[in-house]
Amino acid sequence: MGDRFPWGTASATGVGSYPGTDPAEALRIVLGELPDLPHLPELPDRGPGADMIGRSAGLLIDLAVHVEPSGWRISDRPGLDTQRSLDHLARDLDVLEELAGEHDGPFKLQVCGPWTLAAAIELKYGDRMLKDPGAVRDLTGSLAEGVALHVADVRRRLPNADLLIQIDEPALPAVLAGTVPTASGFSRLRPVDPPVVAEALKTVIEASGAFPIVHCCAPNVPYRLLREAGAKALSVDLSLVPRRADDAVGETIDAGIGLLLGAVPGHDKPLPALQATAGPVRDLWRRLGFPESTIGEQVVITPACGLAGASPAYVRAALKRCRETARTLHEAP
């Protein structure tokens, strides 16, 4: 591993989700196909509590949730849905300890960030938590405490691993732009000020105690804000990085922030040739004037998004292509 980043040169990893319902099978695929930077797979096909929102809502301390037809909602007390979330995670962590307990390299976890949770979870009376600044503060503190306990639990199970925490914030650009719909869908919630957004993210990042990555698979990623919040790496879909973002991306690279670049399609489709997959990464580096010799250290190659909607055969092919692309970018300009 390098001095600046916990991963080795020419690394590849996954974003988070996989198809199927068997955590042992999914983790074996991850460990086999992504040996340099494996991660804990998420299996939303198992149903409520295994989805991105429910899985992280299960980590909340002193905040319970349940499922309504409209989605997740705050409850007065923990119930069946909260217990289901905890049961899924406990099973996943038992499998992790069994199959990877001796792992002695970097290992990545994923949790949903406070702003995407606030944009998705409803208050008891139906409005999204995002509408209530006090509720968001409570949610942020609860999540920070829960993430800290989660990371500590994984450290006990993987005592030799170097843990990375990926905070998933796909709703963040909409939160900043004021385009998150109300519960009724007839209007939009007010935009949140960038300093407020950054402070909440910083709270969760600092509480985690792990190497922090923020993942945002949406257009208009707020690169500078995420750096200011304490992210040491950013995970983005490369196909959604427009030329107008060149200055922000260049500043991010120059600041020594790692980039997890989604260069391989996240759903079943014919994979392009290896050089065609690596080409956009090289083009970005050349366009911004950075030496290609630094790609292998600073960049990790990933699928463009989670793979929950892909076939098992495609998952293996996509992860293999991520690994091959990372090696190609490191070995030959």
Cα 62 → chain centroid: 24
Residue among 329, 224, 322, 332 at smallest CA distance from 272: 322
CA distance 1 to 22: 31
49-97 pLDDT per residue, tens: 999 999 999 999 999 999 998 899 999 888 899 999 999 999 999 999 9
Model pTM score: 0.96
112-142 pLDDT per residue, tens: 999 999 999 999 988 999 999 999 999 999 9
Question: Virtual CA dihedral for 314, 154, 54, 228, nearest 10 degrees?
Answer: -90
φ, ψ for residue 326, nearest 5 deg: -60, -40
Tell me the average confidence (pLDDT) per consecutive run of 10 residues in the chain, 333 residues long.
83 97 97 97 96 96 92 91 95 98 97 98 93 97 98 98 98 97 89 98 98 96 97 96 94 97 92 93 95 95 96 96 96 65
CA distance 192 to 257: 25
Q: Across the chain, which distance is largest between two alpha carbons, in Å?
A: 58
